[in-house]
Amino acid sequence: MEYVYAALLLHKLDKEVNEANLSSVVKASGAEVNEAQVKSLVAALAGVNIDEAIKAAPVAAAAPVAAAAPAAEEKKEEPKSEEAAMEGLASLFG
């Protein structure tokens, strides 16, 4: 995950996302650099428009959340009246 964050940081700073820069950022964070992961990420991002990918990501992530929202609302219980709460409290003391 730190490799993706490093790539996003480099992109945000308008720096080239390449193996050297990515390795430098990961190393500066205190993490150990895995060259295979660095090469894999750089290859995966080749030709990817990161700005477009970022714009598309929240829409995809928000869809399941929006679909789950009505189900969560249905499970809400209405607050008990003060009288009902007092009855429950009285039952504790017999």
For 81-90, write each residue's pLDDT tens digit. 666 666 655 5
pLDDT in tens, 3-53: 999 999 999 999 999 999 999 999 999 999 999 999 999 999 998 999 988
What pLDDT was estimated at residue 57? 80
Domain that holds residue 50: 2-74
pLDDT at residue 83, as a whole number = 66
Domain assignment present for residue 37? The answer is yes
Q: What is the reported pTM?
A: 0.59
Is 82 a member of any domain? no
- The answer to whether residue 61 sits within a structural domain is yes
Has residue 48 been placed in a domain?
yes
Question: Residue 8's domain is classified under what CATH number?
Answer: 1.10.10.1410
Q: What is the pLDDT of residue 65?
A: 57
Q: In the prediction, which pLDDT does 81 show?
A: 66
**Residue at 93 is within a domain:** no
> Rounded to whole angstroms, how far apart are CA atoms 16 and 87?
67
Q: Which residue has the higher pLDDT, 58 or 55?
A: 55
CB 10 within 8 A of CB 21: yes
93 band by pLDDT with thresholds 50, 70 and 90: low
Average pLDDT (61-83) is 58
84: in domain: no
Q: Is residue 70 part of a domain?
A: yes
Q: How many domains does the chain have?
A: 1
